[in-house]
């Protein structure tokens, strides 16, 4: 019997879930589905600059699994941009957990409350220690 896949921990559900090329009038069936855990992998690696170990730990997966999720996400986003396809953020095997940020001041990873649906505010990204200084 195959082992059930453990849900990936993510800290963020975006408010905007549909990205369509500006000159495309309607959604076609080549819309690319980006899973919520794939978006979180992109955020942790490409926005927060966590390394593979750190990001894997935050999402509660092995390094290898994290890399697979990230590769899939990069492939989908690149394909959408190059081929002019829409991206819809939907689904995935995840559980909402804390949201990891790298503090721009001290460089440590800190975790705050998850965002259930909204914009990930980048202005208040400093950790509590640095904010209280
Ligand atoms: Zn800090």
> What's the gap in Å between 58 CA and the centre of ligand 1?
18
> What's the gap in Å between 114 CA and the centre of ligand 1?
18
Domain segments of the chain as ranges: 8-131
> What's the gap in Å between 27 CA and the centre of ligand 1?
43
Pair 99, 111: CB distance under 8 Å: yes
pTM, whole model, 2 decimals? Answer: 0.89
> What's the gap in Å between 125 CA and the centre of ligand 1?
9
> What's the gap in Å between 100 CA and the centre of ligand 1?
12
Q: How far apart are CA 127 and CA 102, in angstroms?
A: 8
Instruction: Say how many C-beta atoms besides its own lie within 10 A of residue 22's C-beta.
Output: 4
pLDDT tens digit sequence for 10-59? 999 999 999 999 888 777 778 999 999 999 999 999 999 999 999 999 99
> What's the gap in Å between 23 CA and the centre of ligand 1?
42
3-state secondary structure of 91: coil
**CA-closest candidate to residue 69, choices 82, 59, 79:** 59
DSSP percent split of the chain into helix, strand, coil, nearest 5: 35, 20, 45
pLDDT of residue 122: 63
């Amino acid at each position: 019997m195959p082992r059930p896949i453990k849900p990936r921990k993510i800290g963020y559900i975006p408010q905007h879930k549909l990205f369509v090329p500006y000159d495309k009038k309607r959604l076609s069936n080549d819309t690319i589905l980006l899973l919520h855990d794939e978006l979180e992998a992109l955020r942790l690696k490409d926005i927060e600059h966590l390394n593979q170990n750190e990001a894997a730990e935050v999402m509660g997966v092995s390094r290898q699994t994290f890399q697979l999720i990230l590769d899939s996400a990069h492939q989908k986003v690149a394909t959408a941009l190059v081929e002019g396809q829409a991206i819809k953020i939907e689904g995935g095997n995840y559980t909402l957990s804390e949201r990891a940020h790298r503090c721009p001041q001290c460089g440590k990873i800190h975790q705050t409350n998850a965002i259930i649906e909204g914009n990930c505010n980048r202005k208040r990204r400093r950790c509590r220690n640095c904010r209280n200084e």
